[in-house]
Amino acid sequence: MTIPKVDLKPCFLSPKRLQPELPLFVYLPGMDGTGQLLRSQTAGLEVGFDVRCLAIPREDLTSWDELAKNVLDLIHAELEKSPQRPVYLCGESFGGCLAQKVAVIAPQLFERIILINSGSAFQLQPLLTWASQLSSLVPSNLYNIGALGLLPFLAALARISRSDRQELLKSMRSVPPETVLWRISLLRDFCVEEEQLRRLTQPVLVIAGASDRLLPSLAEAKRLVSIFPNSKMVVLPHCGHACLLETDTNLYEIMKANDFLDSSVEAAQEQEARG
């Protein structure tokens, strides 16, 4: 019996603990697209949020616009169950570009926006853009080796637990070469007009790892903060590109320390503390 091929669409991964009464926290992942790499942050975020992680199918070769539409459809489906709650949009690396695309299409939808080592920094690195055009010449059987070689550039490995290092490598290797090339081409061609970003008046938190060896994230953070009218930059001095995997990084505490939680999140935290 032949099983017909099903064209899978992006979906939200939900934690075991669903909390529809809390603000919705939507995480858009990096190049791996698995959504699994937020796992070290989920427990902390669940104190004040109902968390969803976007998972993009391994063979997804859709455009930025199509990806953004899929994300918005998923968010609207979540809000049908609880329409009044605030939505926090968080994008990391590749997901930082996608978050910008999503936000400019539906700016009124989001209470807060968080961008972490945004992949829009790709265009500030001419050498990366040039190298990305040559990457199509790399034989597919070398991609697994390449993923291992990229690890020190993706993360400050000494600051990540062994299990999370293994999960990072597993996630990188899960993406087929043609999908890697497609997502690199999306980063190379990424464009959002500055005027569109200036219309995003809600609070925006721009987080940069100062020790990012993959992208010039600090320079990009400064550029973004100069554009968004209501933004704040947080620099993590010792963090690499995959900073959310680092054991000393606590995204919820970073948001709290920078007065980035609205009253509904703080109320949920107080209720959690009371038990």
pTM, two decimals, is 0.86
The DSSP string of the chain is -PPPP-----EEE--SS--TTSPEEEEE--TT--SGGGHHHHHHHTTT-EEEEEE--TT----HHHHHHHHHHHHHHHHHHSTTS-EEEEEETHHHHHHHHHHHHSGGG-SEEEEES-GGGGGG-HHHHHHHHHGGGS-GGGHHHHHHHHHHHH--GGGB-HHHHHHHHHHHHTS-HHHHHHHHHHHHH----HHHHHT--S-EEEEEETT-SSS-HHHHHHHHHHHSTTEEEEEETT--TTGGGBTT--HHHHHHHTT---HHHHHHHHHHHH-
Residue 226: its pLDDT value, please?
98
Least confident of 42-56, 119-133, 200-214: 119-133
pLDDT value, residue 273: 60
pLDDT of residue 134 exceeding 50 = no
State yes or no: pLDDT of 70 exceeds 90.
yes
More confident residue, 176 or 225: 225
pLDDT at residue 213 in the model: 84
Q: Quickly state the pLDDT bin for 113 (edges 50, 70, 90).
A: very high
Lowest mean per-residue pLDDT among 62-66, 232-236, 264-268: 264-268
| pLDDT (tens digit per residue) in 21-36 | 999 999 999 988 888 8
